[in-house]
Amino acid sequence: MTVLGFPLDVVGWVFLICSCAGVVVEGVFFLATTRRLELRLGLLYLPLRPLYGVGGTACAVLLTPLLDHPVVVFVLSAVVCSVVEFVSGWVVDRAFGTVSWDYSDKWCHLRGRICLQYSLCWGLLATAALYATRPVLAEAVARPAPRPGARLLAVLLVLTLLSAVLTVAALARARRRVDASRLPTGEGPVTATRWEGLVDRLVPDAVLVHSLPRMVLSAELRALTPPGGRVGGGVAGSRGPRAGAAGGASRPVPDGPGTRRGGRRFGVRA
């Protein structure tokens, strides 16, 4: 079985390699721009950023037949990666009520989720990667089945799926805890289910905050920690601090100095 001429196992490897490369790219970019080394993951307990995996896979599958036309590849790479980034940001926002990145301070942005500056960067990065890996991809696609590494790929994909499920569960649990901390004092305690208690044990607050440091939800979760206390495990069975404790904390900007401004679709940096 193939996807536009790409065997499924090749698609799987491209996704994993691009996801892993995304962690490196983000780390190097953050180190170069802030002079600080920061771990920036997309999934818990695995060095993967699925956003890069999806974008890289989409570009490889859709644009490989067009590699004889570099300008077209660059333009479409920017479009494909921007669409993936916008949809990903929208899904996370809708699902967990949080922002993972915000380009509202950038020129020509769309709802703060994508901007022209980074769209062009994605186009350059994807185009360079496609031409650099062209011989390897061609050989992998042309090699007859069965191709080596199928069992290893299956194991890695299962681990990725488990990590994705755990990440979603941890974000949902963090969202519920943050919302519960803002309830009026007379609402009564908010108890954790068995599943949420298990998630609290598997994903202590420190793991979530350190793995997704730029997500606004991580800052809201950090605000639940008493002054001078450590960001530790979940607080299953407790109601948490009063609304002012979490609500009064400053919200960091995921990837830039601005915050999303009033729902404007397009913005020009002031």
- Residue 102 in this model has a pLDDT that exceeds 50: yes
- The tokens describing 35, both together, are 């002079």
pLDDT confidence of residue 225: 67
Residue 246: which of 192, 153, 179, 200 has the closest Cα? Answer: 179
**What pLDDT is recorded for position 256?**
40
| Reported confidence tier of residue 185, pLDDT bands at 50, 70, 90 | low
Q: What is the mean pLDDT of residues 200-209?
A: 91
pLDDT category of residue 267 using cuts at 50, 70 and 90:
very low
pLDDT of residue 239: 34
Question: Is residue 188 over pLDDT 60?
Answer: no
Q: Which residue has the higher pLDDT, 59 or 1?
A: 59
- pLDDT for residue 69: 96
The pLDDT score that the predictor gives to residue 190 is 61
